[in-house]
Amino acid sequence: MQDEPAKQSVLSAIPRGVWVLGMVSMFMDTSSEMIHALTPVYLVSVLGASMTSVGFIEGIAEATAMIVKVFSGALSDWLGKRKMLAAIGYGLAAFTKPVFPLAAGIEWFIGARFIDRIGKGIRGAPRDALVADFAPEHLRGASFGLRQSLDTIGAFTGPLLAIGVMLLTNNNIKLVFWIAVIPAFIAFALVVFGIQDPARNTDTAKGKELPQLADAMRFPRAFWIVVGLMTVFTLARFSEAFLVLKAQSAGLAIAFVPTILVVMNIVYALVSYPAGALSDRIGRHSILIVGIGLLIVADLILAFGGTVPAVLLGVGFWGLHMGLTQGLLATLVADTAPEDLRGTAFGVSNLAGGIAMLAASVVAGGLWDHFGPRVTFLAGATFAAVALIGLLVTHKRCR
């Protein structure tokens, strides 16, 4: 009971801008996950795509978002107007959402997914840099954890809404996609009217030259170690679309397939803020080590579990590892990057992650098609083990 007032005081001390950005993320993720929860089933069952195609589409979509972050992050450092770029990204995603229910074929669907992810890429690095700008150093882990938790509330609210609509409408996937338009525009309105750039962004940017390749030389060694670890770790984290398809292959009814993302994201949301706040007190790396170890456990359960309860257990461990790692990896980027290059730093880290995500999802789809889900998840466990070894070897240098 003694820790409860401390927890409340930390939450109340987190700046308003971080809370608003968390709410923006929550509404947009609600929208995106309503669509994402049913995308694999829609592509395979309705549009006739192969498993390899699903892996390629998901990999291209997420890699596109991460690659675009490089340019938007560097641009936000130069302009000092991170909010403007974040608003453009959220607006692009919102106005693309109606294309999903209108798509007449796989080409339209891929195009909509691609543009939606470009919007994510434009907003991602400026938004994360804004969190770092708003948050005082002693609350940085808690601030990133809070934003991640609010984001992830949307990530399980979306699939829950999708399940409800599917049950009430006899699996009307297109109606789910239409309803997803509403929270997307709420997120856009919040970012436009709810926040302003901190004054120091514009002041720092005045007289600054356009971002150059030479700026990369200003990043310390610790930053590049973090980027390397994130890249290897991302190879173990292929698209959650494969969790959905694993559940379907285990016999979960189509209307309840989004339950997989609900379970994962409830755990993810509950863990992210406490993990971030704890990292401010005891350090980041011990928590990351536990998180990567739990991914190995999740992959092994999913590799050998053939029943719906086993899949749900594996997905729960997957969500636990996400909560312990994702907010902290972003915090480590902010910890190790120069203040005036934070946007660029988040962009660079996400470029590396984007390439790894593309490779991981394409390889996962190919392994699934040729060898089945067991080999796919065993491969993920192997990459996670490599990342864990790397973190154990290099953790003293990431300071």
pLDDT band of 190, cuts 50, 70, 90: very high
342 or 381, greater pLDDT: 381
Q: Minimum mean pLDDT among 62-66, 143-147, 185-189: which range?
A: 62-66
How far is the C-alpha of 274 from the C-alpha of 271, rounded, in Å? 6
**208: how many CB neighbours lie within 10 A of its CB?**
12
Q: What is the pLDDT of residue 316?
A: 92
How far is the C-alpha of 219 from the C-alpha of 155, rounded, in Å? 33
pLDDT band of 2, cuts 50, 70, 90: very low
Specify which of 32-36, 267-271, 318-322 reaches the highest per-range mean pLDDT.
Answer: 318-322
How far is the C-alpha of 238 from the C-alpha of 246, rounded, in Å? 13
pLDDT digits (tens, 9 = 90+) for 200-217: 544 454 445 555 555 667
Q: What is the pLDDT of residue 215?
A: 62
Contact between residue 311 and residue 246 where contact means Cβ atoms under 8 Å apart: yes
Q: What is the pLDDT of residue 365?
A: 81
Q: Minimum mean pLDDT among 41-50, 64-73, 222-231: which range?
A: 41-50
Is residue 265 packed enough to be buried (19+ CB in 10 Å), middle (13-18) or exposed (0-12)?
buried
Q: What is the pLDDT of residue 187?
A: 95
Residue 154 has pLDDT above 90, yes or no: no
Strand locations in the chain (E): none
How far is the C-alpha of 313 from the C-alpha of 72, rounded, in Å? 38
Residue 15 has pLDDT above 90, yes or no: no
How far is the C-alpha of 120 from the C-alpha of 134, rounded, in Å? 21
Residue 398 has pLDDT above 70, yes or no: no
Cα distances from 317 to residues 56, 230, 298, 305, in angstroms, run 25, 19, 5, 13
How far is the C-alpha of 270 from the C-alpha of 349, rounded, in Å? 25
Q: Minimum mean pLDDT among 45-49, 108-112, 153-157, 229-233: which range?
A: 45-49
pLDDT digits (tens, 9 = 90+) for 294-303: 999 999 999 9
pLDDT band of 329, cuts 50, 70, 90: confident
Question: Average pLDDT of 237-258?
Answer: 79
Contact between residue 344 and residue 225 where contact means Cβ atoms under 8 Å apart: no
How far is the C-alpha of 284 from the C-alpha of 153, rounded, in Å? 23
Specify which of 86-95, 147-156, 358-367 reaches the highest per-range mean pLDDT.
Answer: 86-95
Q: What is the pLDDT of residue 182?
A: 95
**Phi-psi category of 26—alpha, beta or left, where left has phi over 0 and alpha has psi -120 to 50?**
alpha
**pTM of this prediction exceeds 0.95:** no
Question: What are the DSSP calls for 87-109, one per residue?
Answer: HHHHHHHHHHTTHHHH--SHHHH
Q: What is the pLDDT of residue 207?
A: 46
pLDDT digits (tens, 9 = 90+) for 261-313: 788 888 888 888 888 888 888 878 889 899 999 999 999 999 998 888 999 99
How far is the C-alpha of 314 from the C-alpha of 120, rounded, in Å? 28
Q: What is the pLDDT of residue 396?
A: 57
Question: What is the pLDDT of the chain when averaged over all its residues?
Answer: 81
3-state SS, residue 132? helix
Question: Average pLDDT of 169-187?
Answer: 90
pLDDT digits (tens, 9 = 90+) for 334-372: 888 888 788 888 888 877 877 787 788 778 888 888 888
Contact between residue 356 and residue 387 where contact means Cβ atoms under 8 Å apart: no
Residue 14 has pLDDT above 80, yes or no: yes
- Fill in the DSSP letter of residue 251: T
pLDDT band of 179, cuts 50, 70, 90: very high
